[in-house]
Structure 1
Amino acid sequence: MSDHATLPIDRAVAAGEREFRELADFAPVMIWRTGTDRQGDWFNKPWLAFRGRSMAEEVGEGWVEGIHPEDFDRSSSVFFHAFGAREPYSLEYRLRRHDGVYRWIVETGTPYERGGAFAGYWGSCTDITDHRVAQRSQRVLINELSHRLKNTLAVVQAMAEQTFREGRPMNAAITCFSGRLRALAAAQDQLIATAWEEVPLSDVVEATVLPFDCGGARIHREGPPLILSAETAVSLTMALHELLTNAVKYGALSSDTGTVTIAWSCAEPAGGRFRLEWKEQGGPTVSTPLERGFGTRFIERGVGCRQGGGSRLLFEPDGVRWVLETELPATSAHRAQVA
């Protein structure tokens, strides 16, 4: 196959002058060379270390054995076309590393001459696997952010429609809507802090309660460490905000002696369910409202239902009680069992 009198391994030895070898072997990339026969006749140390093979094993077509079978035809087509046209090229393919793992490589090749005549190709290869993984993660993140942004805007739209439809004076409606937006923003802050994944239940409760009870004397919270899904965290934040707002205006927090207890537990550790209870005490006598506003409807229907749970809002004479039971992420159920 070769149009040279010497074999590729002989050419590899001839290419090993000390100065050139030092320069190429200390380069931070994998470097290779072919002759006019398209056969590899030299590879630098980074290449050989990556492949875990000797020069004798790689020269000729030995190195081709490392190309992923799914990338072989495409890579060969690009290389052969460029070689025939005597033009530079660049391509990406998977190359088997010394440990058997295929890594994504970006390869560039450029023809070179000796004495005015085409002599073969010099090329370099760089491992870009980590870069590709980062790019893929970025695309996933962008898609996820787009999805969550649309969901958030839908929540804002629903809040606006319901708040300004409830017949309250405009100033009161604006104040109410602003409070709901702040609660939603607090929920988003929690999710951003955990990369839009899972959120500690205690953090959700603390962040929502803090503006209403800075000293921690009137709103008691207690429960084991549990983790909520992103969707449940947002819904719970909104529900607690509605309960707190109503408690300040009409319920236990409207009097000097009233208190609120927020307690949660893992109702079914094996099945991954949790139970949260809100209970007001020491405030005015409670009666069932004649009409259900946005907040009440949201608390009763918008929290936990999608996760296969249930929500009950009870207007008991001594104080409002809210009971939520819903599913936990698998990681949280596991933590509860360990604890």
Structure 2
Amino acid sequence: MTSFASTGTVDSGRQVHFQAQLLNAVEQAIIATDLAGVVTYWNRCAERLYGWAAEEALGRNILELNIPPEGLPQAEEIMDCLRAGKMWSGDVILRHKDGHSFPVQVTDSPVLDDGGQMVGIVGISMEIGDRVRTLAALTSSEERLRIAQHAGGIGTFEWNIRSGEVMVTEEFCRIWGIGQHTSIRVGAFEEFTHPDDRDLLATSLARPLEDLIGYTEYRIIRQDDRQVRWLARRGEIVRNEAGEPSRVIGAVYDITDRKRAEEQRQLLMQELAHRVKNTLAMVQAISTQTMRSAASLEEAGTIFGERLTALARANDTLLQENWSSASIRVIVEGAIQSHNDHGRIHCSGPDIRLGPKAALALSLALHELCTNAAKYGALSMETGQVEITWHVAGDKDAALFRFRWQESGGPPVKAPERKGFGSRLIERSLAGSFGGQAGIRYEPTGIVWSIETPLSALQEPSSG
């Protein structure tokens, strides 16, 4: 078939007609103007796209036809670029005959005659509303995904095994503390990971890939603040047509708070076991000594119950402080409460924190002192008084804690011929535990019990 454009026998009229039909058949709007912007050609797609018939458009300035008022400055810049002999391509907002605007992709080029002189401008344009809406929806979807990932603290990645590039998200970068990246070389992750956990990386050669991409927990060293953080990772292998791994897609999230909570729970369970063990040992000792020294089973039951009450009261005080320490003032006031209904026990001293072991021992010792004073000592007579004082001498590591119980106004006192469990507890409870000096003196005016021990020893947490 002979082309109209290649034969010299076809008249110019038929050739122009063919060219017009050819331009009308394409699916893009084609518009030609002179250098002043006056329309010289307007194909059928331009009629459909902009709403102007060719007869209406020909001879009119293009700026009047499809340029909205707000787009005139940009249109003038484009015309200046074209008149300078340069091509221009981009997305613009143009106007339909009925007044509505829509996005259009435009490519404009200068038209030159046979002598290379610029004689006009030709433009090809196509409506891109669907593409813009698709991109907008995609952008919105990506933004929602980004927000969701940030809210959930989940970072995602895609590792191209062949190229070694790992595509990462904004939240992924934040979790690892590596600044904003879209891709990272796979070898960099070994540097970011805790040395003891590098064999757990999906890129590790220590184990098959299939064994590594499942749920894994490992530590990283954040690059911005050098914090050690725990991460959890889940991944899936994507295989090529040959069934070989080509990509790994997965997610990571920070589980540091959970790991710390687990460690705390473990410590608490160990501490609880230790507390129960010590408490049971103390109850067993109290029971054995009470039964051994009591005159009758009924007396043993009463004394044992009172001692357990004192122990429980001290435990309650410690529980309110999560078993970390207790105020000496609270311990003293709790121990003497049931014996001080007439206000004959007087306390003074600074508020000092005692460790759990010291708090329990002091509470039990005060219970025995109060019980003995009520039965045989100062509190057995209406004129009797008890002075409880304590203070700290020295500073820091050299600080000494001194505690004194002194009775007065009671019956004459003499040393007992046989010391029971209560007396031994009073004498040894703190001194035996912390290496201090303690003693009870049976002075004629009343019992005096005193103790001197390093303050640091009283404030130490109990040990197993």
Whole-angstrom CA distance in 1 between matches of 2:144 and 2:185:
20
Q: 1:122 aligns with which of 245, 249, 268?
A: 249
Whole-angstrom CA distance in 1 between matches of 2:215 and 2:281:
45
The answer to whether structure 1 residue 34 and structure 2 residue 155 are counterparts is no
Name the structure 1 match of 2:173: 48
CA contact (8 A) 2:199 2:206 kept: no
Q: 1:219 aligns with which of 345, 370, 380?
A: 345
Q: Tell me: higher relative CO, structure 1 or 2? Use CA pairs within 8 A at least 6 residues apart.
A: 1
The answer to whether structure 1 residue 242 and structure 2 residue 379 are counterparts is no
Whole-angstrom CA distance in 2 between matches of 1:150 and 1:39:
56
SS at match of 2:215: strand
Offset at residue 80 of structure 1 (A): 7.2
Please tell me whether Structure 1 or Structure 2 has the larger radius of gyration of its CA atoms: 2
SS at match of 1:224: coil
Offset at residue 294 of structure 1 (A): 0.2
The answer to whether structure 1 residue 253 and structure 2 residue 379 are counterparts is yes
> Relative to structure 1, is the Cα distance of residues 225 and 247 closer, same or farther in structure 2, using a 3 angstrom cutoff?
same
Q: 1:268 aligns with which of 394, 400, 406?
A: 394
The answer to whether structure 1 residue 146 and structure 2 residue 273 are counterparts is yes
Offset at residue 273 of structure 1 (A): 1.5
> Relative to structure 1, is the Cα distance of residues 91 and 84 closer, same or farther in structure 2, using a 3 angstrom cutoff?
closer
CA contact (8 A) 1:286 1:320 kept: yes
Q: 2:139 aligns with which of 18, 22, 33?
A: 18
The answer to whether structure 1 residue 65 and structure 2 residue 191 are counterparts is yes
Whole-angstrom CA distance in 1 between matches of 2:432 and 2:227:
45
> Over aligned residue pairs, what C-alpha RMSD do you find?
2.6
Name the structure 2 match of 1:111: 237
SS at match of 1:191: helix
Whole-angstrom CA distance in 1 between matches of 2:446 and 2:376:
10
How many residue pairs get aligned? The number is 315
SS at match of 1:108: strand
Cα deviation digits, residues 95-148 of structure 1 (max 9, x gap): 222212221111111224688976522211111112111211211121112112
The amino acid of 1:31's aligned partner reads: T
Name the structure 1 match of 2:63: none
> Relative to structure 1, is the Cα distance of residues 330 and 40 closer, same or farther in structure 2, using a 3 angstrom cutoff?
farther
> Relative to structure 1, is the Cα distance of residues 288 and 263 closer, same or farther in structure 2, using a 3 angstrom cutoff?
same
Q: 1:171 aligns with which of 277, 290, 298?
A: 298
> Relative to structure 1, is the Cα distance of residues 241 and 67 closer, same or farther in structure 2, using a 3 angstrom cutoff?
same
Offset at residue 290 of structure 1 (A): 0.8
The answer to whether structure 1 residue 95 and structure 2 residue 216 are counterparts is no
The amino acid of 1:239's aligned partner reads: A
The answer to whether structure 1 residue 202 and structure 2 residue 329 are counterparts is yes
Whole-angstrom CA distance in 2 between matches of 1:294 and 1:155:
13
Cα deviation digits, residues 216-273 of structure 1 (max 9, x gap): x211000012222211111110100000011111111111121111000113334122
SS at match of 1:165: helix
> Any gaps of 5 or more consecutive residues in structure 1?
1-16, 334-339
CA contact (8 A) 1:311 1:323 kept: yes
Whole-angstrom CA distance in 2 between matches of 1:34 and 1:331:
58
The amino acid of 2:274's aligned partner reads: H
The amino acid of 1:42's aligned partner reads: M
Offset at residue 295 of structure 1 (A): 0.3
Whole-angstrom CA distance in 2 between matches of 1:186 and 1:206:
11
Q: TM-score, normalised by structure 2?
A: 0.63
> Any gaps of 5 or more consecutive residues in structure 2?
1-137
The amino acid of 1:91's aligned partner reads: T
Name the structure 1 match of 2:422: 295
Cα deviation digits, residues 292-330 of structure 1 (max 9, x gap): 000001111222322120111111111111011112138
**Worse-superposed segment, 224-233 or 177-186:** 224-233
SS at match of 1:256: coil
**Worse-superposed segment, 314-323 or 300-309:** 300-309
Question: How many percent identity over aligned positions?
Answer: 33
The amino acid of 1:55's aligned partner reads: H
CA contact (8 A) 2:167 2:183 kept: no
Whole-angstrom CA distance in 2 between matches of 1:305 and 1:106:
50
SS at match of 2:431: coil
Offset at residue 18 of structure 1 (A): 2.6
Offset at residue 205 of structure 1 (A): 0.4
